[in-house]
Amino acid sequence: MKTCPLPMTPLRQRMVEDMHMRNYSEHTIRAYLHCVADFARHFRTSPAHLGPEQVRAYQLFLVQDKPLAWPTVVQTVCALRFLYRVTLGRPTMLDYIPHPRRPFMLPTILSQAEVAVLLTTPRNLKHRAILTTLYATGLRVAELCQLQVTDIDSARMVVRVRQGKGHHDRYVMLSPKLLPLLRQYWQQYKPHPWLFPGNPRTRPLVTRTVYTICRDAGQAAHLPKALYPHMLRHSFATHLLEAGVDLRRIQLLLGHRSLPTTSRYLHVTPHVLHATPSPLDALPLETPL
């Protein structure tokens, strides 16, 4: 299998099979295997030989000594819980692998003016098409990489997202400004079947390349923030909310499973904040001379 470059031990093979049977995405499989491999390397032995004390010590190591970003810690916890509950058949271990509380982080967004500068900066047509597609559709970077030419439906003015996060298909809008750019890009590059092919052209673009394209474009545009693909997705959602699009519709466009996940954009939307009066405004205070 191409899923894992590390030696395929029996335990690793079984974990891969367990995740495939449950229809986990290739991205999740690679991430979980990487987390479990780091856990095994830390103690220099197979996880099958490790128990509650080692798991607790490793979690403290990740949080206190490393330390890792919280999403990485959460992902490691999920990987270990899957390993012990499913692959090793030790569900009682879940009591020793608690889910950490995620800190609430506001998304970093670009202003519309910053997006406009960014999208006109790259000279490379493919790079400009990639950045514009990310912003115009709000796709995740992995969803962008999996786009096929046939997913662009100009007759209905929609873009089909195949098996997005959680293995759900959905449609997003095809902007009238994006369509001519994609046509120009197609005429020059003739991509097939992937809209944004990688190297070789028979393979889709890898997410790492998109991160590099975003970083370089952000630097060339002299943006004050380090640009990454998800920032364009955050900007897509926030700008829609500022334009008056309701949260439920934005939730469907983003492919979020729960509305609370989408509602965090309320915290960074100026018109929502400005439209809410302070309780001070209701007090019968006289304005000082």
> What's the CATH number where 186 sits?
1.10.443.10
The residue annotated as part of the active site, out of 126, 162, 165, 215, is 165
Q: How confident is the model at residue 168 (pLDDT cuts 50, 70, 90)?
A: confident
55 & 117 share domain: no
Assess if residue 3 is contained within a domain.
no
Q: What are phi and psi of 214, to 5 degrees?
A: -65, -45
Count of domains for the chain: 2
Query: Residue 185 pLDDT more than 90?
Result: yes
148 & 264 share domain: yes
Assess if residue 279 is contained within a domain.
no
Q: Residue 2: what pLDDT?
A: 46
The residue annotated as part of the active site, out of 34, 162, 256, 264, is 256
Mean pLDDT across the chain: 88
Q: Residue 275: what pLDDT?
A: 57
> What's the CATH number where 51 sits?
1.10.150.130
Q: How confident is the model at residue 178 (pLDDT cuts 50, 70, 90)?
A: very high
Mean pLDDT of 94-116: 84
> What does the buried/exposed string (b/e) look like for 126-160 if buried means 16 or more CB atoms within 10 Å of the residue's CB?
bbbbbbbbbbbbbbbbbbbbbbeeebbeeeeebbb
Residue 256 annotated in active site? yes
To which H or E segment does residue 27 belong?
A: helix 26-43
Assess if residue 70 is contained within a domain.
yes
Mean pLDDT of 283-288: 67
153 & 14 share domain: no
Query: Residue 157 pLDDT more than 90?
Result: yes
| Angle made by CA atoms 61, 64, 65, in degrees to the nearest 5 | 60
To which H or E segment does residue 167 belong?
A: none
Residue 265 annotated in active site? yes
Lowest mean pLDDT among 45-49, 60-64, 100-104, 222-226: 100-104
Structural domain for 251, as ranges? 112-273
Q: How far apart are CA 218 and CA 221, in angstroms?
A: 5
Residue 14 annotated in active site? no
16 & 79 share domain: yes
Q: How confident is the model at residue 119 (pLDDT cuts 50, 70, 90)?
A: very high
Percent of residues, the chain, with pLDDT higher than 70 = 88
134 & 227 share domain: yes
Mean pLDDT of 210-224: 96
The residue annotated as part of the active site, out of 85, 126, 215, 230, is 230
Query: Residue 172 pLDDT more than 80?
Result: yes
42 & 160 share domain: no
Mean pLDDT of 81-90: 95
At residue 153, what is the residue type? D
Q: How far apart are CA 136 and CA 240, in angstroms?
A: 11
Residue 90 annotated in active site? no
Query: Residue 7 pLDDT more than 70?
Result: no
75 & 40 share domain: yes
219 & 170 share domain: yes
87 & 220 share domain: no
The residue annotated as part of the active site, out of 12, 128, 140, 239, is 140
Which position has the higher pLDDT, 246 or 130?
130
Query: Residue 266 pLDDT more than 80?
Result: no
129 & 185 share domain: yes
Mean pLDDT of 202-228: 95
Q: Residue 45: what pLDDT?
A: 94
Residue 233 annotated in active site? yes
Query: Residue 90 pLDDT more than 60?
Result: yes
Residue 165 annotated in active site? yes
Nearest in space to 3 (alpha carbons), one of 20, 254, 11 = 20
Q: Residue 287: what pLDDT?
A: 57
23 & 163 share domain: no
The residue annotated as part of the active site, out of 12, 81, 233, 239, is 233
